[in-house]
Chains A and B, each alone.
Chain A
């Protein structure tokens, strides 16, 4: 499954 925004990593 694709990750979805928001991106919580730096």
Chain B
């Protein structure tokens, strides 16, 4: 555990809490892609199956359970509790275009051809692209509420900090997880354009982020 990794995990936690609290307090999930949230719940579910097979640390176990619980709570709020506010007309990204290549790739490129390893690889690849329905939705509507952009900012920050964590681990413990690093870098690239808009628009006091 290093400071980048810890800060990355905290950013990830903050992002998920921001989204959950926003939906709960506004009693609305307008502007939120339910599809992205289902994909994230799928990411956590397939990655954290090792909860049943290995014990890494109390921190690891607790964080995994918290992420799982919060991602399912988010999906529940969007599709059950506040489903009449769900903006399905603008959440039209075709997730099968993500799932099919990701499933194929996880069978081709993995560390071991075992069910748990293939599912772990699937979760890593899927996480890299899971935000695309949300970014697609923002592009389609041309705007995002500032709280949604704060959520995306912390999610992107988490990815950037994980890259710093991998650089640190590479130099201090010669750790290099090729699958995680390559897809992590790809994932971070998706946030770059958004980061630019966030800094130039949202942080300068706009209530909404309107796309140029």
CB distance from B14 to the nearest CB of A (A): 14
Complex formed: what's the CA distance from A5 to B4 in Å?
21
Complex formed: what's the CA distance from A6 to B114 in Å?
13
Indicate whether A2 sits within 8 Å of B60 (C-beta atoms), given known contacts A7-B50, A10-B9, A10-B67: no
Out of B50, B165, B176, B180, name the residue touching A1 (CB < 8 Å). B176
Query: Total interface residues on B, using CB and 8 Å?
Result: 27
B111 interface contact, C-beta 8 A = yes
B153 interface contact, C-beta 8 A = no
Complex formed: what's the CA distance from A8 to B180 in Å?
12
Query: Total interface residues on A, using CB and 8 Å?
Result: 10
Contact code string B16-53 (vs A, CB < 8 Å = 1, else 0): 00000000000000000000000000000001001001
Besides A2-B111, A3-B175, A3-B177, 12 more A-B contacts (Cβ < 8 Å) are: A1-B176, A2-B178, A3-B179, A3-B180, A5-B111, A5-B112, A5-B120, A6-B54, A9-B162, A9-B165, A9-B177, A10-B60
What are 21 A-B pairs with beta-carbon distances under 8 A? A3-B176, A4-B111, A5-B50, A5-B54, A5-B112, A5-B116, A5-B117, A5-B120, A6-B50, A6-B53, A6-B56, A7-B120, A7-B180, A8-B56, A8-B57, A9-B162, A9-B165, A10-B9, A10-B12, A10-B60, A10-B64
Listed in ascending order, the chain A residues whose CB lies under 8 Å from chain B are 1-10
Listed in ascending order, the chain B residues whose CB lies under 8 Å from chain A are 5, 9, 12, 47, 50, 53-54, 56-57, 60, 63-64, 67, 111-112, 116-117, 120, 162, 165, 174-180
